Amino acid sequence: MSGSRDVVLGRVRRALADVPASERPEDVPVPRDYRATHTDDDPARTLDLLAANLADYRARVHHCGQDELPSLVAELLAAQGSRSVVVPTGLPPAWLSRAEGVEVVTDDPGLTHARLDAVGSVITGCAVAVAETGTLVLDASPDQGGRRISLIPDHHICVVRAPGQVVASVPLALPRLDPARPLTWISGPSATSDIELDRVEGVHGPRVLDVIIATTDD
C-alpha cells in the first residue's frame, strides 16, 4: 500500500514541478466547455427525474403544495409512530403546526447524542437537490442544522422546495454550494451490502428517508 501511495504522490510532484510556488488555482483559467447536464431544460421533467431517482434509492417520495406541507409532515410522523422530532433552529414553525402530540426537540449544543438517539424523527430542509443522481445536499444552514441530526435519528423527513432548490446535475449544483460549509450528500436511506450483497439499512444514518417535494412560489 505504501509503495502505491509513493508512486501516486511521485507522479503528482512531477506534474507540479514547473508550477510557481506563488501560483493559485484561480490564476489559471480552465476551460469548462463540457456538457453540464444530460437533462433538457424542462422543470417538470427535472422534478420527475428527481422523484424517480430518489425512489430508486428507496427513499419515499411525496409531493404537495406549500399549504399542504404541515398536514403531510404530521401524517408522516404519525405513520412512523414518532412521538418526538428534532428540528433545526431555523426550521419554519409552520411545518410542524399540525403535528399534535409530538414533542419538538431543538438542535442546540446541549442536545446530547443519547438524547438525540432516543428521538423518533428529524425534519430538515435542504440546500439543493440533484435530479440526475437523486441526491439531497445539506449545508448546515438554519433550516438544516448540524450534520449529526440527519445521521442519528432513524427517520429523516427532508423538505425540498421546488422548483427553486432542484437542479439537474452535480455540475449545476456545485456553484450553489459553499465548499467551506459542512456539506452532507444524501442519496437514499443509509445502507450497505456485505460480500454476498445482502442489503442492510440504517448502518451509517437513518433507515427511513421521506422526501417531500413541496411546490412553492419562491
**What is the maximal distance between C-alpha atoms in the chain?**
66
- Let me know if residue 23 belongs to a domain: no
**How sure is the predictor about 21, in pLDDT bands with cuts at 50, 70 and 90?**
confident
Percent of the chain with pLDDT over 70: 92
Tens of pLDDT along 131-169? 999 999 999 999 999 999 999 999 999 999 999 999 999
The whole-number average pLDDT for the span 9-32 is 89
User: Which positions ≥6 away from 91 have C-beta within 8 Å?
Assistant: 123, 124, 125, 142, 143, 145
Does residue 163 lie in a domain region?
yes
DSSP 83: S
So what's the pLDDT on residue 1? 54
What's the mean pLDDT when you consider all of the chain?
92
Write out the residue range of the structural domain in which residue 140 sits. 42-215
Give the count of domains, the chain. Answer: 1
pLDDT in tens, 159-204: 999 999 999 999 999 999 999 999 999 998 866 656 666 666 656 6
**Residue 31, domain member (yes or no):** no
3, part of any domain:
no
In this predicted structure, what is the pLDDT of residue 172? 94
Q: Please give the average per-residue pLDDT across 63-83, as a whole number.
A: 97
- pLDDT band per the 50, 70, 90 thresholds, residue 207: very high
The yes-or-no verdict on residue 56 having pLDDT over 90 is yes
Is residue 126 included in any domain, yes or no? yes
Between these two residues, 32 and 78, which has the higher pLDDT value?
A: 78
Q: Which of 17-21, 113-117, 153-157, 187-191 has the lowest mean pLDDT?
A: 187-191
| Triad 141, 143, 148: Cα angle to 5° | 70
- Mean pLDDT value of segment 98-121: 95
What share of the chain in percent tops pLDDT 90? 78
Residue 134 lies in a domain: yes
Higher pLDDT, 61 or 23: 61
DSSP assignment of the chain, as one string?
-HHHHHHHHHHHHHHTTTS-TT--GGGS-----S---SS-S-HHHHHHHHHHHHHHTT-EEEEEEGGGHHHHHHHHHHHHT-SEEEE-TTS-GGGGTT-TT-EEEE--TT--HHHHHT-SEEEE--SEEETTTTEEEE---TTT--GGGGTSSSEEEEEEEETTTEESSHHHHGGGS-TTS--EEE-SS-EEE-TT--EEESSSS-SEEEEEEEE---
CATH number at residue 123: 3.40.50.10420
Would you give the end-to-end CA distance of the chain in angstroms? 51
pLDDT at 35: 84
Q: What is the pTM of this model?
A: 0.84
In this structure, of 34-43, 44-53, 106-115, 151-160, the range with the lowest mean pLDDT score is 34-43
Q: Is residue 22 part of a domain?
A: no
Grid cell listed for 210: 421521506
Q: Considering the domain boundaries, does residue 37 fall inside one?
A: no
Residue 40 banded pLDDT, cuts 50, 70, 90? confident
Cell numbers 428527481 label which residue? 50
